[in-house]
Amino acid sequence: MRDLASAREASGKWHHRVTAYSRPTGHSEAGWAVEISLEEACDLGLRYQQDAIYFIDGDILLASRCEPQQRELFQIGASFRDRLDDGFRTNNPS
């Protein structure tokens, strides 16, 4: 994971640590929000053996498989902001 951290830092692009979780199941995973294109995100995911990545466009949460022949965005729900905890919204205006 240090390689991923180094790549993220070297890119010079905006990034923010996030923990995604499912309220119904309680399952959570740490990750990063990074301002990069879909192709860059999928290539990075593939390099670090991820099956899929999340992608946010405006206020819409989408996902895509990382494999080149399977890259296609599909919508996961309505509003992405509705999935944020109140503390995140309060501390991170945008």
Low-confidence ranges of the chain (pLDDT < 50): 89-94
The identity of residue 64, as a single letter, is S
pLDDT, position 89: 45
pLDDT, position 38: 93
pLDDT, position 93: 46
pLDDT, position 86: 64
Residue 60: CB partners within 8 Å, gap ≥ 6? Answer: 75, 78, 79, 80
Mean pLDDT of the chain: 81
Write down the pTM of the prediction: 0.71
